[in-house]
Amino acid sequence: MTLTNGQALFATALSGLQNTYSILAKNSTNNGGITIDDLTNPSTTVLQQLGGNMTFAQFLSSNFAAIDKDGDGTISSADMSNLTNKLSQNGLTYEELCQLCSSGLVSSDTLSNVLAYFNQIDKNKDGRVTNAEIQAFNLKADEEKLKTEYQSFKPSSMSVFYGDDSSDSEPSSLVDNLYPKNNS
């Protein structure tokens, strides 16, 4: 029983960005990519193709200057590839999680858990969580749950005998099965 699924968060964020970019680029008048105008004034066709979900387009718009590395006023496919690679490798910040994963495509419980435990998940304290950090946090959470659950089990409270109260035979020791029976 794990706390959350980091892969689902990252897959949603990255595929949402890629799909939104593809739709915008396909409908853009600029053949080299998408412009800020494509993001801020999308056509009716684009809005229909995005299903009204502008979450990813808003992310691209608000981070336009940082994504457009060469400053030519266009987010090219290379810029988009660099962005998704960076997010995949370096992880997502709290704000990026809020913006990219709140589209309703990820379980709200999953997102809520990652946001609630963000500081504990971010082991290297770089302000980003990666899928590996989420998985490590899940393992640690599962380990702690098991320790708590099985803390009451102590060897002194266990019997080395097994058997059935309604059985006519005597209960035997677990050790009896380790040695061959003496049939004399």
Q: Report, in angstroms and rounded to the nearest whole number, the Rg of the chain calculated over CA atoms.
A: 27
Which CA distances in Å does 77 have to 1, 71, 81, 121? Answer: 39, 14, 6, 32
Task: Name the pTM for this structure.
Answer: 0.72
Q: Where are the domains of the chain?
A: 6-150
Q: Per residue in 7-45, pLDDT tens?
A: 888 888 899 899 999 999 999 888 778 999 999 999 899
Task: Please give the pLDDT value at position 169.
Answer: 58
Task: Give 170's DSSP letter.
Answer: P
- The highest-confidence range among 52-61, 100-109, 140-149, 172-181, by mean pLDDT, is 52-61
Spatial neighbors of 20 by CB under 8 A, at least 6 apart, are: 50, 56, 57, 60
The confidence band for 167, taking pLDDT boundaries of 50, 70 and 90, is: low
Q: Which residue's structure tokens are 């266990």?
A: 158
Spatial neighbors of 142 by CB under 8 A, at least 6 apart, are: 1, 2
Q: Per residue in 64-81, pLDDT tens?
A: 999 998 889 999 999 999
